[in-house]
Amino acid sequence: MSKYDIIVLGSGPGGYVTAIRASQLGFKTAVIEKENLGGVCLNWGCIPTKALLKSAQVFDYLKHAEDYGLSVKGFDKDFDAVVKRSRGVADGMSKGVQFLMKKNKIDVIEGFGKLKAGKKVDVNGKEYSANHIIIATGARSRELPSLPQDGKKVIGYREAMSLKEQPKKMIVVGSGAIGVEFAYFYNSMGTEVTIVEYLPNVVPVEDEDVSKQLEKSFKKSGINIMTSSEVTKVDTSGKGVKATVKTAKGEETLEADIILSAVGIKSNIENIGLEDVGIAVDRDKILVNDYYQTNIPGYYAIGDVTPGQALAHVASAEGILCVEKIAGQHVEALDYGNIPGCTYCYPEIASVGLTEKQAKEKGYDIKVGKFPFSASGKASASGAKDGFVKVIFDAKYGEWLGCHMIGAGVTDMIAEAVLGRKLETTGHEVLKAVHPHPTMSEAVMEAVADAYGEVIHL
């Protein structure tokens, strides 16, 4: 039996990052992976979707070249080549993780791992043991009883990024990050897209102003949006697919080539031996403490299988914190109230902290500032005037309660708010920090100025 200090089950952005940090700390480390290094994020999620979205963005630029004083004739898309580029980017990233495993002297064990009592893992009939076993098996597309996926006419995100042919019509069920990103991509490529969202607003976890702006921008792009609506039945017996949609006005039947089910994720906790070991689970999630220890000593869990936000950067942060705690370092529990969320449709969405509604519900007396990109010199020059930056401060102490952005490149701007909140900065400190001109990031300073009645350019 091979013996390790730490075994990590799963090699997604939680698992492989955890393994590397463990190796850096001097632990003899192994990673068990049943498919591709990098997990869903690198192979079927975060990275290849961004490659698809970049192709869509470039295609949009070509369609609007005249807006920039340019003449481009005879251009078209090659859907198959767009998909191939995305797969190539994913393969390159996975090879990069292979390199990192070798560089950090981490053993990669290929196969399906099953936990056993006594801090052991069985992989295809061979046992491995460790002082510490970290579960990082991630999640997959969730299926609704009314929307069973067949991988052909009713698909999940995995099939959506590797279709052989571009559909003429697509229904996207769910308007979270996955739903709106694919809606933007396929609409940009020329597919007729309808979004069906159960709740009253698209991107329902976001601030209501952001939701309204995205709906406005999407409708302008030709995307049909149905909120407060539910797909109750699908019929795949014909050439395409028919969806029965329950709306406030009654039932409606939609026809399309394909339905993309983007209604959330399901944790990968089945058949990995949790019951055999006695690890506590509640409603699809492994229960852990602030340092990711389960109820059974020597077993830990991080990422999408735990109750925190199901985001790649959260899984990575949890894994690093977990192994640093194992190493005896002084670590602070992760602040889940200061986790940025990013959605990479166009316009992009980025947010951190409380929404305006949440701040009011918590009883804060708030100052709210908002600066539209239509008043930004850089945004005007870039031809990207859709969207705004919105900030929320506690009126009494100046605490930065929340920041919400929608617009071009805002996913690269949100870190200012995350860092500012981490350092407990106040509104006046942000206002007096000189921001470079002309940049999109000036909108943060201007939004803060608006909150305090000092805005210059609005």
Is residue 133 marked as binding? no
The tokens of 153 are what? 């006419």
Q: Is 58 annotated as a binding residue?
A: no
Has 304 been labeled as part of a binding site? Answer: yes
Query: Using CA atoms, how far apart are residues 45 and 138, in angstroms rounded to an integer?
Result: 12
Q: Is 410 marked as a binding-site residue? A: no
> Binding residue per annotation — 177?
yes
Nearest residue to 455 (alpha-carbon basis) of 419, 417, 427: 427
**Residue 442 assigned as binding residue:** no
Say if residue 113 carries a ligand binding annotation.
yes
Residues whose CB falls within 8 Å of the CB of residue 40, separated by 6 or more in sequence, listed in order:
12, 138, 139, 140, 158
Active site (annotated) includes residue 404: no
Residue 75's closest CA among 66, 86, 84?
A: 66
Is 175 a known ligand-binding residue? yes
Distance CA 243, CA 261 (A): 12
Cα separation, 447 vs 458, in Å, equals 10
Q: Is 181 annotated as a binding residue?
A: yes
The active-site residue, picked from 64, 428, 437, 457, is 437
Q: Is 252 annotated as a binding residue?
A: no
- 45 annotated to bind ligand: no
Q: Which residues are annotated as a binding site?
A: 50, 113, 174-181, 197, 264, 304
Bind-site residues for NAD(+): 174-181, 197, 264
Catalytic residue list: 437
Report the binding-site residues for FAD.
Answer: 50, 113, 304
